[in-house]
A = this chain, B = another copy of it.
Amino acid sequence: MTDHDHKLDVIAAYVDGFDRADAEALADLYAEEATVEDPVGAARIMGRDAIRGFYRTAVARGIKLEMSGSPRTSGDSVAFPFHVHRQSGGRDEIIEVIDVFRLDAEGRIVEMRAYWGPQNIKPRP
């Protein structure tokens, strides 16, 4: 379950989970012992329960995702570029992000790493 089409399905379900503000569905994409590092360099969130809390906060802020290039599937992993759309202080912002998912044999995410920094936060054009 680490083939290319499955990885595309996981990414589509990930974007859809934000569209529907469904933190449960987002957490269900993860293995129980998964970790999330968002952004890379921050403390890692350990385990699906903590990950569910992370997504509850995110969807409560109204965050939506928009793909900005092709997913790159490679071994047990997939990297993909996207824009986060959010409101901050009453203004529309985008954040340019690259996420890397590593999947287990069952096709669930075991490691998520989100690459972005302050320079990637921009007013929405």
Instruction: Bin the interface of chain A by size.
Output: 20 to 34
Task: Determine the distance from Cα of A100 to Cα of B114 in the docked complex, in whole angstroms.
Answer: 11
Give every chain B residue within 8 A of A118 (Cβ-Cβ): 4
Shortest Cβ distance from residue A72 to the other chain B in the assembled complex, whole angstroms: 4
Of the residues B73, B74, B78, B114, contact of A74 by C-beta under 8 Å? B114
Quick one: closest B residue to A41, CB to CB? B75
Of the residues B74, B117, B119, contact of A40 by C-beta under 8 Å? B74
Q: A100 and B74: CB pair below 8 A? A: no
Of the residues B42, B70, B75, B98, contact of A39 by C-beta under 8 Å? B75
With contacts A79-B79, A81-B81, A98-B79 taken as known, whether A117 is within 8 angstroms of B69 at the C-beta atoms is: no
Task: Determine the distance from Cα of A78 to Cα of B98 in the docked complex, in whole angstroms.
Answer: 10
With contacts A70-B96, A72-B98 taken as known, whether A78 is within 8 angstroms of B115 at the C-beta atoms is: yes
Q: A117 and B73: CB pair below 8 A? A: yes
Listed in ascending order, the chain A residues whose CB lies under 8 Å from chain B are 4, 39-42, 68-70, 72-81, 96-98, 100, 114-120
